[in-house]
A = this chain, B = another copy of it.
Amino acid sequence: MNARVRGEERRAEIVRAALEVIAERGYRGASLAAVAERVGLTQQGLMHHFPTKDALLVAVLQERDRWDAVPDSRWRVDLLAALVEYNAMRPGIVQTFSALLGESVTDDHPARAFFSERYTRVRASMAEMLRSEYGDRLPNGLTPERTAPLLVAVMDGLQYQWLLDPASVDMPGAFRDFLRLLGERPD
């Protein structure tokens, strides 16, 4: 069993390194050799754990899934603001998945289906959260279903502006501004 643990630890190390390299170069630009070197392996040593480059990407995306797999019903608007604040302290992770999202809109990208399904899921989750928070009508008159895409868009869009120019963009502050836009909370 020690062997199994050691193997899984190695896999985790590799995924961590892959996150870094993807942040720096994107997925297409991330070579297996570069990832391998970062964990002190040869490219072929890495391919013992992940038989193809796509297999490694799948592991990276699963890592993301594990990250935001918080029970939907527990989400609240103020927790979302806290998440944005947390993200602002991890530029690396944000950069990885912003780069990946950008690439995914190109044809036949291996991460396309992942992101497509993820957004469908996240929008539904956000709508549910908004409904439990505000009811069927937000203070501004919109429905939760029509607000959810905007909420998601603001989060993503702010990330790009912030990554490109962290000094000029106060990502958490701007997000709180948007929440205020949604309507005063019924505290």
Contact = CB atoms under 8 A, between A and B. Distances in A.
Interface stretch (A5-13, A47-55, A157-165): A157-165
Interface stretch (A19-27, A38-46, A58-66, A75-83): A19-27
A150 to B, nearest CB: 5
Contacts of A86: none
Interface residues of A, number: 51
11 contacts: A28-B28, A95-B106, A103-B103, A115-B164, A119-B165, A141-B180, A142-B180, A149-B158, A149-B174, A153-B154, A181-B181
A102 interface: yes
B119 A161 contact: yes
A33 interface: no
A91 to B, nearest CB: 10
B165 A120 contact: yes
Contact of A177 (B28, B142, B156): B142
Interface of A: 23-26, 28-29, 95, 98-107, 112, 115-116, 119-120, 123, 140-142, 146-147, 149-150, 152-158, 160-161, 163-165, 168-169, 173-174, 177-178, 180-182
A160 B156 contact: yes
Contacts of A153: 153-154, 156-158, 160-161, 174
One complex includes copies of this chain to the number of 2
Contacts of A181: 140, 142, 150, 181-182
A99 B26 CA distance: 11
Max chain B Cβ within 10 angstroms of own Cβ: one of A140, A157, A177, A182 = A157
B107 A98 contact: no
A105 B92 CA distance: 11
Given A23-B107, A120-B165, 5 more contacts: A29-B106, A95-B105, A142-B181, A156-B157, A156-B160
